[in-house]
Amino acid sequence: MVTVTIKDVAALAGVSPATASRVLSGHPATSSGSRARVTAAVEQLDFRPNAQARSLRSTRTNVVGLLVSDVRNPFFADLAHAVEQAALEAGYVILLGNANELEDQQNRFLDTLIDQRVDGVIVAPQGDGSGSIRSLLNRGIPMVFVDRRVDGVDVPSVTTDSREGIQQAVAHLADQGHRRIGYIAGPQSISTGRERHSAFTDALRTAGLDHDPALTAFGNFQIASGAAATEQLLQLNYPPTAILAADSPMAAGSVAKLHEMGLRIGRDIALVAFDNIDWFALLNPPLSVISHSVEDMGRIAVELLVNVIGGGQPASVSLPSELIIRESSSHRLPAPLNPQRNN
């Protein structure tokens, strides 16, 4: 493969390399004839300027990095699409990375973004903010957190206020007669895992339900852990009659396990999932969900990052969540029988 250089463009156009460079950079001190010849030569040779060399001169690449926690998670796939579209409208292209819910994999990708001299980074963070996240901060590379935050790291973020949606879900299940509600929690090392777990325990108290720690099983925001947590909950001596899963992959794992066990969702056991994934509405029965806008999250993350790149200090944004009731949780349990007193 032959690499075409600025010297080749200049030779074909009949101008000096310096003139060709000025034309390509948009410098006004060039004649219309030179511009026409250089443009024609670029097209004929299919010349592509060296982006890294150009970024060394301009300090801008018009490229931003996006690191999602797990690209297999439909929520993060939708988030990546929303970020990409908003970034394109703002004049940026995206380099997409997948942490796979692993801090080491996160650090490898972020280190590469530092080497590529990206203009900024949008991160769904893993870990405690050390490692490559700290390197980004120390180098002054603009950064925004999305979906998750890191305690003690002062970075603008766009997240979801999970509390309202979880409060609605627990109240709805209690109204349907459920007194023992199982909860599949995310890892407590991640802000969303901690916040949703706290919101769930608070919602139990508000609904007048006892908090039985045995009714909480901890997963890792991936499908297999949702299935394992469901099996753990249903092996209790007094199993739950309803389950709330803290994200969509764990909810998918719960659905698979319930089907494997021959339990009818919406009849034998109620199920509610956090995240409104499109295909949840297509299940039989359709799954009740706690919904929040992934499109708004992606768009606002880009807006915040562009603001930071421009030297601003934008405030963090918290988006609302709300319960959408479908058939997986709308069947009311029969009222318990009251013991008859002897007269």
Give the pLDDT confidence of 259-297 residue by residue, as tens digits: 999 999 999 999 999 999 999 999 999 999 999 999 999
> Does residue 38 carry a pLDDT above 50?
yes
Confidence bin at 16 (pLDDT 50/70/90): confident
Q: pTM of the full predicted structure?
A: 0.79
Check for a shared fold between 6-49 and 63-159+295-318: no
Confidence bin at 116 (pLDDT 50/70/90): confident
Q: Give the pLDDT score at 254.
A: 98
Confidence bin at 335 (pLDDT 50/70/90): low
Give the pLDDT confidence of 126-147 residue by residue, as tens digits: 888 778 888 888 889 999 999 9
236: tokens are: 């209790």
H-helix or E-strand containing 156? none
More confident call, 262 vs 50: 262
Q: What CATH architecture does domain 63-159+295-318 belong to?
A: 3-Layer(aba) Sandwich (3.40)
> Does residue 241 carry a pLDDT above 90?
yes
Sort residue 58 into left (φ over 0), alpha (ψ -120 to 50) or beta.
alpha
**Alpha-carbon span 55 to 302, nearest angstrom:** 21
Q: Give the pLDDT score at 114.
A: 86
Give the pLDDT confidence of 79-98 residue by residue, as tens digits: 999 999 999 999 999 999 99
Averaged pLDDT, 6-29: 83
Residue given tokens 């325990």 in the structure block: 201
Pairing mode, strands 157-160 and 216-218: unpaired
Q: What is the mean pLDDT of the chain?
A: 90
Q: Where are the domains of the chain?
A: 6-49, 63-159+295-318, 162-292
Confidence bin at 220 (pLDDT 50/70/90): very high
Please report, rounded to a whole number, the percentage of residues in the chain having pLDDT higher than 90. 72
More confident call, 5 vs 54: 5
> Does residue 334 carry a pLDDT above 60?
yes
Give the pLDDT confidence of 179-206 residue by residue, as tens digits: 999 999 999 999 999 999 999 999 999 9
Contact 294/75 with Cβ under 8 angstroms? yes
Name the CATH superfamily, with its identifier, for domain 162-292.
Answer: Response regulator (3.40.50.2300)
Fold held by 6-49: 434 Repressor (Amino-terminal Domain) (1.10.260)
Pairing mode, strands 322-324 and 288-291: antiparallel
184: tokens are: 């599949």
> Does residue 54 carry a pLDDT above 70?
no
Give the pLDDT confidence of 146-184 residue by residue, as tens digits: 999 998 899 999 999 999 999 999 999 999 999 999 999
| H helix intervals, the chain | 6-13, 17-24, 32-45, 51-58, 74-89, 103-115, 132-138, 162-175, 191-206, 223-234, 248-260, 294-309
C-alpha torsion 17→23→24→27, nearest 10:
120
Q: Give the pLDDT score at 117.
A: 85
